């Protein structure tokens, strides 16, 4: 069985968000921060970024309970100008810090034309599309990057040095047209997809990773002991270096091999860094003119004839937006392993009743509907 054909069961997204919020409150977060983290994870699941969805709940809770992540962090602004801020996230949840940072960057961009916020002393911040999408919904162009523990070999190296160093940008689109939201790891695939495949007992395709001896592997365990590969060889490797500079070197956060791992690490906080940039297009070009140009390009792209084997040309973020609409209606497909893990975490924190209500069918959709959701979701890829 591969990562693409596991049996999955649909769970109502609102119920899942409420359950995850209860879990994070029980783990010590404020109601507001718990809602932000839970909302982020469920949004990732809705968009089909399952590797950064509620499957992360257990490790987030584990690190909160061991005090490796501060449940009630104190953010500190270390330096600030009208266009920039350097934020110490107080070792708090990365998602909370990243939302705050992008909001600050967007506020500055709305006022001055550009805003950049660099973050250090932070933690795993999940799916970057969430933050660039936040800025796009305010009419701003945006960019986000984060560092991650070493797991990817730079081009030509046998051992990991960079993280999977993701980068996301978003372009605001006019009217009813969805914003263009691009978001990718600079590795061939996000390491989370390998972690999820291991959790689900699935193999991975050749080309995603090397084992510890530098050989191609389809075994997620072997891959997690070895290294993931950069996207497009030297090109992905070069982009990963830029992400490292923006996220870690600028902020003074740990970088690459100096970042303690998220998993199997009960000793050290991660000390991660992120970078957020928001730009107001209106400082360069009249707003309506830019909107018309984006609209025209989007229309031209969508009208291009599809290549053999493709249904149509999609814009970045379109497959995820379509998947989210489908999953909102039909439920979020969660594997038995992820459901079991959520039940176990909820049990440890005394919120098992909520878990039973959401995961055991009361708020779920029938597996048949979830299966339908699944096949429809894969179409545009
Ligand atoms: N926080 C971290 O440490 C960390 C590390 C690595 C990755 N991530 C996250 O993992 C997630 C997954 O990354 P990924 O590299 O697997 O992304 P992916 O390969 O699924 O998608 C990459 C981009 O390609 C676009 N795309 C996909 N199919 C398309 C199509 N048919 N037409 C046009 N565009 C299409 C998507 O919209 C997306 O913007 C991202 O959200 C990333 O932020 C986070």
Element (H, E) at 171: strand 167-171
Residue among 130, 185, 312 to mutate when testing ligand 1 (max atoms within 8 A of CB):
185
- Six-digit token pair at 11? 């769970």
| Domain at 74-187+230-284: CATH code | 3.30.1370.60
Give the largest CA-CA distance in the chain: 55
For residues 3 and 34, the model is more confident at 34
* Across 227-248, average pLDDT: 96
Residue 82 Cα to ligand 1 middle (Å): 32
Confidence bin at 187 (pLDDT 50/70/90): very high
Residue 90 Cα to ligand 1 middle (Å): 28
pLDDT, averaged across the chain: 92
- Give per-residue pLDDT as tens, 77-125: 999 999 999 999 999 999 999 999 999 999 999 999 999 999 999 999 9
Atom nearest to 380 CA in ligand 1 = 31
Q: Which residues pair with 216 in a beta bridge?
A: 210
- Give per-residue pLDDT as tens, 141-164: 999 999 999 999 999 899 999 999
Residue 28 Cα to ligand 1 middle (Å): 30
pLDDT value of residue 195: 84
Question: Which residues does ligand 1 sit against, CB inside 6 Å?
Answer: 49, 51-52, 124-129, 146, 148, 164, 166, 168, 182-185, 189-190, 192, 314, 316-317, 319-320, 380-381
Burial bucket for residue 24 (CB in 10 Å: 0-12, 13-18, 19+): buried
- Give per-residue pLDDT as tens, 311-361: 999 999 999 999 999 999 999 999 999 999 999 999 999 999 999 999 986
Residue 184 Cα to ligand 1 middle (Å): 4
Residue linked to tokens 């039940």: 343
Domain boundaries, the chain: 1-65+320-381, 74-187+230-284
Q: Is the pLDDT of residue 1 over 80?
A: no
Nearest CA to ligand 1 atom 25: 316
Asked if CATH classification 1.10.1530.10 holds for the domain at 1-65+320-381, the reply, yes or no, is yes
Full-model pTM: 0.92
- CA atoms of 50 and 43, how far apart (whole Å): 9
Query: Residue 93 contacts by C-beta under 8 Å, 6 or more apart in sequence?
Result: 29, 33, 37, 60, 64, 69, 73, 123
């Amino acid at each position: 069985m591969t990562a693409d054909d596991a049996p999955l069961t649909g769970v109502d997204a609102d119920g899942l968000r409420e359950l995850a919020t209860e879990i994070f409150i029980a783990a010590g977060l404020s109601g507001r921060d718990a809602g932000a983290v839970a909302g982020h994870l469920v949004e990732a699941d809705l968009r089909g970024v399952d590797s950064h969805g509620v499957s992360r709940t257990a490790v987030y809770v584990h690190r909160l309970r061991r005090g490796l992540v501060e449940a009630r962090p104190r953010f500190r602004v270390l330096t600030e100008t009208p266009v920039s801020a350097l934020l110490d996230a107080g070792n708090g949840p990365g998602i909370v810090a990243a939302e705050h940072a992008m909001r600050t960057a967007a506020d500055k961009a709305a006022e001055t034309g550009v805003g950049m916020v660099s973050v250090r002393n932070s933690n795993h911040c999940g799916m970057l599309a969430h933050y660039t999408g936040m800025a796009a919904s305010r009419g701003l162009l945006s960019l986000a990057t984060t560092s991650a523990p070493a797991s990817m070999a730079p081009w030509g190296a046998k051992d990991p040095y960079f993280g999977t160093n993701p980068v996301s940008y978003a372009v605001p689109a006019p009217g009813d047209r969805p914003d263009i939201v691009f978001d990718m790891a600079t590795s061939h695939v996000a390491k989370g997809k390998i972690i999820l495949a291991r959790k689900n007992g699935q193999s991975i395709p050749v080309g995603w990773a090397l084992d510890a001896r530098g050989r191609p592997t389809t075994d997620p365990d072997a891959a997690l002991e070895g290294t993931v590969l950069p996207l497009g060889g030297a090109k992905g490797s070069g982009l990963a270096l830029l992400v490292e500079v923006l996220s870690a070197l600028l902020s003074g956060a740990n970088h690459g091999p100096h970042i303690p791992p998220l998993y199997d690490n009960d000793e050290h906080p991660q000390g991660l860094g992120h970078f957020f940039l928001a730009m107001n297009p209106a400082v360069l070009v009249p707003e309506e003119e830019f909107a018309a140009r984006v609209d025209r390009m989007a229309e031209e792209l969508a009208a291009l004839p599809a290549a053999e084997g493709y249904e149509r040309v999609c814009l970045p973020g379109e497959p995820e937006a379509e998947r989210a609409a489908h999953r909102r209606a039909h439920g979020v497909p969660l594997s038995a392993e992820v459901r079991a893990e959520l039940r176990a975490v909820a049990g440890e924190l005394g919120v098992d009743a909520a878990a039973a209500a959401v995961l055991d069918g009361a708020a779920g959709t029938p597996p048949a509907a979830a299966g339908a959701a699944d096949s429809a979701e894969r179409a545009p890829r």
